[in-house]
Amino acid sequence: MPLTPTTRVLLTGAGAQLAGAIRARFEGHCALTAVTRQECDIASPAAVARVLAAANPDVIINCASYNDVDGAERDPRAALSANGLAVGVLADAAAGADAVLLHYSTDFVFDPAVDPGPLREDAPTSPRSIYAQSKLLGEILAKRAPRHYVLRVASLFGGSRAKSSLDRLAAAIRRGDTVKAFANRTVTPSYVPDLAEAAAALLARDVPYGLYHCVNSGHGTWVDVARAIAVASGLDADRAVTPVPFDPSAFPARRPTYAALSNAALAAHGVMMPPWRDAIARYVRTLS
């Protein structure tokens, strides 16, 4: 479904970091309707029906999410509603409208006991927190839309609404602070403009519906990420970054120690993701 001026796209959760990048990429290329959580509570069938009646979308892109990982442990009802049950509401609405549903999930659905190498879509899930469980529920309920994409993303950064852990790490490094970074937590950083471009390519190429990992290519520890930010900023990485061990038990909600995702399935359909180090370099240039 190539984006044309007549393609009707509904973007939910429009206030989120990833949504900002999608809006920047899609505006001017389609008939985009963007609604924030305040404008449309996707857990409400009545609110969703009202918005769909007005937008009549061909594609629904859902960026609405409860992202307070530790807060979900204190308020599981809110997380399960926003990340799980609400996705079922959207999926049912998409099915009724014969619209494509594109929904975002997370690397937190994994927590392998040993380093298995970059995780594919069919790797066993093991959600160890309320947040992770709620996102996995959302993946399951998204399948109620016959035409659906579930895209797992990880360690987001960048865009006009930058506010992630990686964004805060970059700000501290560029201030000249010496930052602590996990030496044994492995991730796949994901630059939100690249994810927005991938969403457009996914639709344009009519990639088969289903579950995909949508992340920048490659992986590294948080020390690797922090050092890459320092180098791209023209700073001494050894002075800027202090490696520390990662202890999952130090947080109210468990984080996976290994969360590197393989994007080979998307690449097999022609949706190529740039290396994360290249993305970091481009990101840092936007901060200059």
pLDDT of residue 2: 77
SS (H, E, C) 45-79: HHHHHHHHHHHCCCEEEECCCCCCHHHHHHCHHHH
**Tokens standing for 59?**
């594609």
201-236 pLDDT tens trace: 999 998 999 999 999 999 999 999 999 999 999 999
Strand partners of residue 102: 61, 149
Who's near 176: CB < 8 A, 6+ residues apart? 235
In the chain, what are the domains? 8-223+246-287 (3.40.50.720)
Direct distance between the N- and C-terminal alpha carbons of the chain, in angstroms, rounded to an integer: 37
**Beta strands 186-187; 220-221: pairing state:** antiparallel
240-261 pLDDT tens trace: 999 999 998 899 999 999 999 9
Residue 133's nearest CA partner among 209, 66, 213 is: 66
* Chain mean pLDDT for the chain: 96
Helix 17-26 / helix 192-204 crossing angle, nearest 10 deg: 50
State the pLDDT confidence band at 37, using cuts at 50, 70 and 90. very high
Residue 49's nearest CA partner among 106, 82, 92 is: 92
Q: From edge to edge, which strands make up the β-sheet containing 220-221?
A: 220-221, 186-187, 258-259
Q: Token pair 């393989």 is at which residue?
A: 262
Instruction: Kindly name the residue from 66, 104, 131, 149 that is annotated as catalytic.
Output: 131
Residue 1 pLDDT > 90: no
Contact indicator for 159, 18 with CB cutoff of 8 Å: yes
User: Which three-class secondary structure state does DSSP give residue 178?
Assistant: coil
State the pLDDT confidence band at 3, using cuts at 50, 70 and 90. confident
Phi, psi angle pair for 122, to nearest 5°: -95, 10
What does R_g of the chain's alpha carbons equal in angstroms?
A: 18
Residue 161 pLDDT > 90: no
Task: Decide if 283 is catalytic.
Answer: no
Residue type (1 letter), 97: A
| DSSP summary character for residue 114 | S
Residue 87 pLDDT > 90: yes
Residue 198's nearest CA partner among 281, 271, 137 is: 271
Average of per-residue pLDDT across 12-41: 96
**Tokens standing for 164?**
């992630």
pLDDT of residue 69: 97
User: Which three-class secondary structure state does DSSP give residue 12?
Assistant: strand
Q: Helices (H), strands (E): how many in the chain? A: 12, 13
Residue 162 pLDDT > 90: no
CA atoms of 22 and 150, how far apart (whole Å): 16
pLDDT of residue 219: 97
Residue 251: other Cβ atoms inside 10 A = 13
Residue 159 pLDDT > 80: yes
Residue 195 pLDDT > 90: yes
User: Which three-class secondary structure state does DSSP give residue 210?
Assistant: strand
User: Which three-class secondary structure state does DSSP give residue 211?
Assistant: strand
CA atoms of 194 and 190, how far apart (whole Å): 7
| More reliable by pLDDT, 84 or 162 | 84
pLDDT of residue 114: 87
State the pLDDT confidence band at 55, using cuts at 50, 70 and 90. very high
